[in-house]
């Protein structure tokens, strides 16, 4: 018999489970003849049940031993009000720690789940409603089902950004699957995404998302949050601040990280890595800074002879963009390029043989739902020199003027280098 037993006593046995209990339990639990013909019964009342600091009101724990199947049938629920916040019913097999449980949630508060994702997010709020099936074993659980997230908000720790959403999600083999998932940042900007949050039995969570965005906040970090380290065994050695890298773009950051990993593996010191990276500037025609004119910075990325390379260049800037795109088409698809441009670029100057194809792709991928005022303005020019002159007429202070053609140079120049030199010469004449 139990009479208002303090549940926090159980925490002594749950030290590594990331679950902390509170509240009181009263009632009876009986175990008879555990070795020959075991019988297990329980009829327990929960008062002010507390899971990881969140109060879930009152409930019950009912359990009975079914000797034929060597299992314990369990039914437990708790909640504040008429509907329980959770109802769990099913079977536990002590012989192999097997579980077969159905879980129903009704406006279940999410904050108690935070310790299970403490390497990825923090400050989790909101509620969830839905149904889950939990199979497998205690060590290797297998969770599947569908959930509706209600007014959910969380902070992604390594990005220092807060996101809000109300969406349906699917859980399959412990992984969280997101489709047409609408996310709002702290400033009210929206992103539509799909992807996967995977884990290793609810440890070591990994986030893999693809988002379609416009002015969406991905990073809110300071210099001290963006440091490069090299790990050897269990030792982390600081190399440098990310802000010290003079190359632009996520793709160049990955190149630097790969170079540092190779250098560390062959014994080069962190100081030597730092000095080499800080001294390295962009190679001509590869996101090369040309000059500042008209209050804007002008960059030469003539090496971008395919739409994918131009996309990498566009993603290297977070300032308003005036893009010069064109040249000769290599019969490659332009739709992904166009969708990114519609989201990220303020004005496009299309030039050369590919101008018409680029403009068609931009118009095809400007969604009806997107306000016309948010779409990039488009200008067409016959050649690169005309494109530079047109850019000089419309550029605004604070913008970046980026030559990242996406097409080859052969409609007008010998190669991309000659095209890049022409661009630089024209810009220096302004």
Q: What is the pLDDT of residue 289?
A: 92
Tally of domains within the chain: 3
319's CB contacts (< 8 A; 6+ apart) are 398, 399, 400
Can you give the pTM of this predicted structure? 0.49
Q: Which of 189, 213, 237 represents a domain boundary (last residue)?
A: 213
Confidence bin at 33 (pLDDT 50/70/90): low
CA dist 294 to 298, 391, 393, 395, Å? 10, 10, 9, 7
Q: Are residue 233 and residue 368 in the same domain, yes or no?
A: no
Q: Do 266 and 168 share a domain, yes or no?
A: no
Q: Which of 352, 355, 318, 316 has the alpha carbon at shortest distance from 334? A: 355
Instruction: Indicate if 364 and 232 belong to the same structural domain.
Output: no
Last residue of a domain, one of 213, 244, 263: 213
φ, ψ for residue 218, nearest 5 deg = -100, -35
Do 267 and 398 lie in a common domain? no
Dig out the tokens for 401 from the structure: 């003027």
If asked whether residues 237 and 136 sit together in one domain, one would say no
| pLDDT value, residue 36 | 57
Residue 62 lies in a domain: yes
Q: Are the C-beta atoms of 78 and 58 separated by less than 8 Å?
A: yes
Classify residue 197: in a domain, yes or no: yes
Residues 360, 247 share a domain:
no
Domain presence at residue 404: yes
* Cβ contact 344:314 at 8 Å: yes
3-state helix vs strand vs coil in the chain, percent to 5: 25, 45, 30
pLDDT in tens, 121-168: 788 899 999 999 999 998 999 999 999 999 999 887 766 788 888 899
The mean pLDDT value of the chain amounts to: 86
Model confidence pLDDT, tens digit, residues 368-381: 434 444 679 999 99
Domain that holds residue 104: 2-213
The whole-number pLDDT of residue 215 equals 67
377 lies in some domain: yes
Distances (CA, A) of 154 to 122, 177, 225: 6, 17, 19
Co-location of 298 and 421 in the same domain: yes
């Amino acid at each position: 018999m139990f009479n208002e037993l303090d549940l926090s006593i159980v925490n002594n046995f749950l030290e590594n489970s990331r679950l902390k209990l509170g509240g009181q339990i009263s009632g009876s639990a009986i175990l008879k003849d555990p070795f020959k013909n075991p019988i297990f019964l329980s009829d327990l009342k929960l008062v002010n049940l507390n899971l990881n600091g969140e109060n879930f009101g009152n409930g019950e724990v009912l359990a009975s031993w079914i000797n034929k199947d060597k299992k314990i049938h369990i039914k437990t629920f708790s909640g504040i009000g008429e509907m329980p916040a959770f109802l769990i019913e099913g079977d536990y097999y002590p012989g192999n720690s097997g579980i077969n449980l159905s879980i129903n949630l009704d406006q279940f508060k999410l904050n108690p789940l935070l310790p299970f994702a403490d390497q990825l997010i923090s400050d989790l709020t909101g509620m969830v409603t839905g149904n889950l099936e939990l199979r497998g074993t205690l060590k290797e659980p297998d969770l599947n089902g569908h959930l509706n997230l209600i007014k959910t908000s969380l902070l992604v720790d390594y990005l220092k950004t807060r996101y809000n959403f109300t969406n349906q999600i699917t859980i399959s083999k412990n992984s969280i699957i997101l489709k047409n998932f609408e996310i709002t940042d702290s400033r009210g900007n929206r992103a539509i995404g799909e992807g996967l949050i995977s884990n290793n039995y609810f440890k070591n969570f990994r986030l893999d998302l693809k988002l379609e965005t416009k002015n969406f906040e991905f990073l809110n970090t300071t210099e001290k949050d963006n440091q490069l380290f090299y790990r050897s065994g269990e030792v982390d050695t600081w190399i440098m601040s990310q802000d010290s890298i003079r190359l632009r773009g996520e793709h160049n950051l990955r190149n630097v990280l790969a170079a540092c990993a190779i250098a560390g593996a062959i014994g080069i010191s962190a100081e030597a890595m730092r000095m080499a990276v800080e001294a390295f500037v962009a190679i001509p025609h590869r996101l090369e800074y040309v000059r500042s004119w008209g209050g804007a910075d002008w960059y030469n990325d003539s090496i971008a002879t395919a739409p994918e390379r131009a996309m990498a260049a566009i993603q290297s800037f977070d300032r308003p963009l005036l893009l010069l795109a064109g040249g000769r088409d290599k019969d490659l698809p332009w739709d992904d390029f166009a969708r990114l441009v519609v989201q990220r670029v303020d004005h496009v100057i299309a030039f050369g043989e590919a101008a018409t194809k680029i403009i068609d792709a931009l118009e095809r991928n400007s969604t009806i739902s997107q306000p016309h005022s948010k779409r990039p303005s488009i200008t067409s020019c016959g050649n690169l020199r005309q494109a530079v002159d047109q850019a000089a007429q419309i550029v605004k202070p604070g913008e970046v003027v980026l030559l990242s053609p996406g097409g080859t140079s052969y409609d007008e120049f010998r190669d991309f280098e000659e095209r890049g030199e022409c661009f630089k010469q024209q810009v220096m004449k302004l």
